[in-house]
Amino acid sequence: MSLLADSNTHVREVLNVVNHQLTTRPTSECVAQSWTRCINEFQLDPARFVPPPVLTEYELSARREALGDLIACSKLEMTTLYQQLADPELAVVLVDSGGVIVHQVSSVPFAEAVAGDGFRVGALWSEREAGTNGMGTCLAERDCIAVCQHEHFYPRYTSLTCSAAPIFDDGGEIAGVLDVTSRSKLLQQHSLVLVGMSRQMIENRLLDARYRHANMIHFHSRPEFVGTLHGGKLAVGDDSTVLAANRSALFQLGFRSLSELRGRRIEEAFNASLEDMIARSIRGSFHPVTVYSANATNRFFLVAQTPQNATGRVTRVLVSDSALRGNTAEKHEKHEKHPPVPKLDEIAHLEFGDPRMASQIQLAARVIQRKIPIVLRGQTGTGKEVFAQALHSISPHADGPFVPVNCASLPENLIESELFGYRAGAFTGAQREGRRGKIVQANGGTLFLDEIGDMPLVLQARLLRVIEEHEVTPLGAETTVKVNFQLISASHRNLLELVQSGQFREDLYYRLKGVELNLPALRERVDKLPLIHHLLANETDDPPDLTAEAEHALLTYAWPGNIRQLRHVLQMAIALSDGEPIRCEHLPPEVTQRMSAVDMPTALRLASADIDGHLADEADISSLNAIQLNERDTVLSLLDEHRWNVSNVAKALGISRNTLYRKMRRLHIRLSHEGSPPDGMPLDLDA
């Protein structure tokens, strides 16, 4: 079908829905109401496209200045959301309450591609100006909404998919809308969920920013949700009157709007005074304490905090322990003013020619200078701790200690004392002089939390507060210790899936994942041979040679234990070979059992051809940026899942075969794997 025919079909569909006539495509009630508003109220014609108006620089500057706190609270969450979605064909945008785009995060090519349709900073995307769309319809409906392709009013926008969520201010009014607009359906399945989570983070940030001098009460009916996205938050003045609340707080306390709660004393919500709640929170080391509603019918768990610069009745004591911090203060100040140039030679030993590994190293070297939290994701044995140590060596905290903590290897009842430390006599069996926790030990250096996905839920809230407030309270202590460290986390598990299943806190996930680095499994790396020679050289001053058969066995084995397993195999082979070349009999049976004397020559030729093919692509792959590499990994995973059946993968992505072929060519994916089309089959890459 031609573009003109498709456009005419869409126009007829809109008119049929508005006129209550038969339609060929099911339409949601929300979209139908929006189309009706566009035609009957705004007098728009779907067949006559008019680009959205764009504000002048002066008008846009005035709007942005009036929204300074909203934009400031949104920028970090927008950047984080963009990195999480990892799709170059999308934009994360913030619009004000009038529908004007005031901030946008996107790749340059995508921004340029959609700018011609009026999608740019300064453009007005209300329903009155742009018809049905994610941002404008979200403002009209005052609720989260997804507008997918042909649900747009104008045919011009039917290639776009939008996921939008309203941002409410402390007064319950819409301050703006957070939106993800994309031309790709690759990640749209969960983008609305992530947009909603980011919206909640922005709302909480906005409340904190506007009431930074107020006392904050975090509460929930379940203790594990205190301080999370689901938790209630109240800003309370020194006179114990409620100043502001987030929507979760209103819902839990049974109020329909802030006007019903604002100005009331906190005792009208809980059966305790502000002073009592703060004092109990301090005594409990800011673990959630139990209170009841004012009528004693509902139980809540809460943490009450005074502002950091508070003075008066009760406040936390912020300790600057020079004995623990050493001489690091001046170093931190120096690094803050003049971030050091990355010392790439100190991390280059991790890279042996694999383009994906090289791209992750380059990205890591950039972000580590800005003290951005990093999550390393990779299978067990891929060298996550070695990678973290290398990052520490080039970070602004390189002069401080590197402190690793394996959250999976410590018993649950010991993780808390290991991380946060304890004062003398805090519990039976405690050391007489108390103990510094790993967090305090990492002050001025790097804290590496390995297998963070296995950290108990009850401790995740405490870790979140440490990250947000840069201070830690040892067990049994009433004073806090200021800390400053680079945070690197690692996991072999998908943290986002753990969040969605309720096993990991959403806002801790956001705080940990400034950027995610993916370490490829050993079987996926194209630099296995130089890596093997490097490991051999590390084990002995006179590394033995490898026979051709042994080399091929090492290259073709799947390595479920990754680099750790490879190192152990090489250590054993060196011992057994006793200075002679390493042969197959020096390797474990599982490494060599797939090879036989009959198929060895053929296998060697196939291995050689496979290695040559990878090396031919290496220069092309190295030209891809981090987002493109993530997209390449996603497409490769889908291809593997569908046994390289291009038709099935295209169907799964909701795109045509030709579009998928073009995407594969752009991402330098060759059809050279098992299950790819046989030689001679035509591929219409230019269609």
Tell me what pLDDT residue 682 has.
33
- Say how far apart CA 34 and CA 153 lie, in whole Å: 8
- The side-by-side arrangement of strands in the sheet containing 161-168 is 101-106, 90-96, 174-182, 161-168, 145-148
Element (H, E) at 360: helix 355-367
Domains, the chain, ranges and CATH?
57-193 (3.30.450.40), 211-305 (3.30.450), 325-518 (3.40.50.300), 522-595 (1.10.8.60), 596-687 (no CATH)
**Contact between residue 514 and residue 77 where contact means Cβ atoms under 8 Å apart:** no
Distances (CA, A) of 1 to 5, 123, 198, 462, 685: 6, 31, 39, 58, 19
Token pair in block for residue 202: 């922005």
Highest mean pLDDT among 162-166, 327-331, 341-345: 162-166
Q: Which amino acid, one-letter code, is at 562? A: N
Per-residue pLDDT at 4 exceeds 70 = no
Over range 118-141, report the average pLDDT.
95
pLDDT, tens digit (0-9, with 9 covering 90-100), for 32-77 = 999 999 999 999 999 999 999 999 999 999 999 899 889 988 988 8
- Say how far apart CA 325 and CA 442 lie, in whole Å: 9
pLDDT, tens digit (0-9, with 9 covering 90-100), for 254-283 = 888 888 899 999 999 998 999 999 998 888
Highest mean pLDDT among 330-344, 470-484, 504-518: 504-518
Per-residue pLDDT at 614 exceeds 80 = no
**Residue 243: helix, strand or coil by DSSP?**
strand
Top pLDDT among 672 and 176 is at 176
**Residue 658: helix, strand or coil by DSSP?**
helix
Over range 550-567, report the average pLDDT.
90
Distances (CA, A) of 75 to 243, 414, 512: 25, 38, 17
The stretches of 231-338 forming alpha helices (DSSP H) are 247-253, 274-283, 322-325, 328-337
**Residue 536: helix, strand or coil by DSSP?**
helix
Q: How confident is the model at residue 293 (pLDDT cuts 50, 70, 90)?
A: confident
Token pair in block for residue 346: 């100190």
**Least confident interval from 403-407, 450-454, 511-515:** 511-515
Nearest one of 497, 567, 555 to 529, comparing CA atoms:
555
Highest mean pLDDT among 242-246, 295-299, 667-671: 242-246
**Residue 93: helix, strand or coil by DSSP?**
strand
Q: Which residues of 119-156 are buried (b: 16+ CB within 10 A; e: fewer)?
A: bbbbbbbbbbbbbbbbbbbbbbeeebbbbbbbbbbbbb
**Residue 71: helix, strand or coil by DSSP?**
helix
In this structure, is the dihedral angle defined by the CA atoms of residues 572, 577, 580 and 584, taken in order, positive or negative? negative
- Say how far apart CA 212 and CA 659 lie, in whole Å: 50
pLDDT, tens digit (0-9, with 9 covering 90-100), for 356-380 = 888 888 888 888 888 889 999 998 8
- Say how far apart CA 215 and CA 198 lie, in whole Å: 24
Element (H, E) at 217: strand 215-220
Top pLDDT among 560 and 325 is at 560
- Say how far apart CA 521 and CA 383 lie, in whole Å: 10
- Say how far apart CA 455 and CA 513 lie, in whole Å: 16
Calculate ∠ Cα 423-471-501, nearest 5°. 100
**Contact between residue 483 and residue 442 where contact means Cβ atoms under 8 Å apart:** yes
Q: How confident is the model at residue 625 (pLDDT cuts 50, 70, 90)?
A: low
What pTM was computed for the model? Answer: 0.50
Residue 357 exposed, middle or buried by CB count within 10 Å (0-12, 13-18, 19+): buried
Q: Which amino acid, one-letter code, is at 285? A: S
Over range 526-538, report the average pLDDT.
87
Nearest one of 51, 71, 73 to 60, comparing CA atoms:
71
Q: Which amino acid, one-letter code, is at 419? A: L
- Secondary structure, 3-state, 661-678: HHHHHHCCCCCCCCCCCC
In this structure, is the dihedral angle defined by the CA atoms of residues 642, 646, 647 and 652, taken in order, positive or negative? positive
**Contact between residue 553 and residue 587 where contact means Cβ atoms under 8 Å apart:** yes
Tell me what pLDDT residue 597 has.
35
**Contact between residue 529 and residue 570 where contact means Cβ atoms under 8 Å apart:** no
Top pLDDT among 12 and 356 is at 12
- Strands 289-292 and 471-472, how do they pair? unpaired
- Say how far apart CA 201 and CA 178 lie, in whole Å: 11
Element (H, E) at 386: helix 384-393
Over range 309-319, report the average pLDDT.
37
- Say how far apart CA 11 and CA 19 lie, in whole Å: 12
Token pair in block for residue 364: 């890591």
In this structure, is the dihedral angle defined by the CA atoms of residues 464, 468, 469 and 471, taken in order, positive or negative? positive
Per-residue pLDDT at 111 exceeds 60 = yes
Tell me what pLDDT residue 539 has.
85
Q: Which amino acid, one-letter code, is at 135? A: M
Per-residue pLDDT at 607 exceeds 80 = no
Highest mean pLDDT among 32-46, 72-86, 382-396: 32-46
pLDDT, tens digit (0-9, with 9 covering 90-100), for 195-242 = 988 898 899 989 988 998 999 999 998 887 888 778 899 999 999 999
- Say how far apart CA 154 and CA 160 lie, in whole Å: 11
Tell me what pLDDT residue 160 has.
92
State the DSSP string of 414-455: HHHHHHH-B-TTSSTT--TT-B--HHHHTTTSEEEEETGGGS
Q: How confident is the model at residue 626 (pLDDT cuts 50, 70, 90)?
A: low
- Say how far apart CA 251 and CA 172 lie, in whole Å: 12
Element (H, E) at 192: helix 188-210
Locate tokens 């903590």: which residue?
405
Per-residue pLDDT at 492 exceeds 70 = yes
Residue-averaged pLDDT of the chain: 80
Over range 139-167, report the average pLDDT.
93
